[in-house]
Amino acid sequence: MGTAVMISPVATGSASEGRSGTGRYAKVALRYGLSSFGPIAISGAHFFASILFLRAFSRAEFGLLSFLFVVVPLCLSISGALVGASVSRVAARADGLRDAELATHLKVNLFFSVAAGVCVSALLYLGHSDIKLALVLGCYAGLMTLRWFGRNVGYALRTPVRVAVSDSVYAISLVAGLGTLYALHGLTASRAADTLLLAAGAGLVALGRDFLRHLLWPAREGSVLAFGQIWRDLARWSVLGVFLTELTANAHVYLVTFAFGPASFALLAVGALLMRPVVLVLSALPDLERPEMGRRIAAGDKHGALSSVKEFRTAAGAVWLATLLLAGVVLMWFPHLVLKHGYDVGQVLVVLAFWGAITAVRVARTPESVLLQAAGEFRALAAASGWSSLASLAITLLLMLTFGPVASLGGILIGELVMTARIFALSRRWKLAHV
């Protein structure tokens, strides 16, 4: 079996099938339903985990594990930028993804996953975690990064069912493990870390024996050195864009955690927790949409790519609205379901309002950003992220030092608006040139 077919293919229908009427809408619903199922399952599992952490742990422990749930997605985003975007672009070619090319990406991702685990351990240790907990959670980050690359490959090769199975196994394992520990009054930060690690391993195994075999023993044809050209042409700009986007989106996380400690970050994390379904969908759907848009652009179907942008925004907007309404209802009428003593409901509502506005801006921007990624405009995106990251970092720091941790979210919102304005300008320029 060739490396490029290491995940069993699942028929998704011909490209021309269901382009109009009921068939077209059914196909869109199936595509988004299948791709959203896994992210929603993970979001639900992480929401469940965070609620248990919120109720079982001290503010400092909850803040530390919430910090983990920010840093690990950064690792996943870098993995997507470093190897996922390239895999999607190569897979969109007429001759598809060759064994040597996939092996090259596998080897690079292995190195990056190890580096991600080491970096996460170091950050947690600097954030006042004990060394054992930091090491276990670093291993969790490494396994999650490996699994995320498997998801990217699955979407690039049009095998979304395998991806959904992996997501579901991870989510079920995490919920079952943490739920059992909580019910038995045995949930501690150390045991929570062990459960996260085991769930990540189970999700990785669920990608299939072929993927694991090629992951552990990649084909000899590929090499890390062969990735050099990809790095110069594509990956360095996409990775730079991710780093700068992280400064725009999460400067407050690092500033508040390291300046005031994880206990102070805990309040901000509660608001982020309530909006997590939106954040996760915005993180996961691009893995599906990027290769789809890339295929349509490569085939000359620019209008089809723009249709994908609208469908993406509609789906993400629906998730945003449902999430915000549910969070508001819970906090106003049933706050005891989420909060325990030590949290002020009024402050949490202010934080939620900030997060609602921030995620609304991201819902508007992300589909346009993914279109530009599919079109290979990574250098322009990196430049757009650069300006917004500078604005976000400077204003977040100023507001935090002047008014305290909660006000730091205002800097994040301003940075998001700056980035969104620039990305929409780039998108309009691309459309005028190509459509």
Please give the pLDDT value at position 378.
80
Cβ neighbour number for residue 185 with a 10 Å cutoff? 7
CA atoms within 13 A on the CB side of 26: 8
Does the pTM surpass 0.75? The reply is: yes
Q: What is the mean pLDDT of each run of 10 residues along the chain (435 residues)?
A: 41 43 58 64 86 90 93 89 77 64 83 95 91 96 92 76 89 97 95 97 90 71 76 82 82 90 90 84 75 83 86 90 92 83 85 95 93 84 82 91 94 92 92 82
Q: CA separation (Å) from 313 to 74, 167, 224, 366, 427?
A: 22, 22, 36, 8, 14
Both tokens of 413, joined, read: 């919102």
One DSSP character per residue, 58-124 reads -HHHHHHHHHHHHHHHHHHHHHIIIIIHHHHHHHTSTT---HHHHHHHHHHHHHHHHHHHHHHHHHH
Three-point CA angle 164, 193, 74, nearest 5°: 60
Please give the pLDDT value at position 28.
56
Question: Cα–Cα distance between 151 and 149 in angstroms, integer?
Answer: 5
Question: Cα–Cα distance between 53 and 163 in angstroms, integer?
Answer: 27
Both tokens of 162, joined, read: 């395998």
Please give the pLDDT value at position 12.
40
CB-based contact 2:99 (threshold 8 Å): yes
Three-point CA angle 305, 412, 121, nearest 5°: 90
Q: Is the dihedral of CA 23, 95, 382, 302 positive or negative?
A: negative
CB-based contact 122:141 (threshold 8 Å): no
Q: CA separation (Å) from 104 to 16, 213, 235, 293, 311?
A: 33, 15, 13, 24, 33
Both tokens of 98, joined, read: 């060759």
Given the structure tokens 């670093």, which residue do they identify? 138
Q: How far is Cα of residue 126 from the mean position of the Cα atoms in its chain?
A: 23
Comparing CA positions, the residue from 338, 340, 332, 348 lying closest to residue 271 is: 348
Q: Where exactly are the structural domains of the chain? A: 23-434
Please give the pLDDT value at position 112.
93
Q: CA separation (Å) from 291 to 195, 240, 284, 308?
A: 33, 20, 13, 11
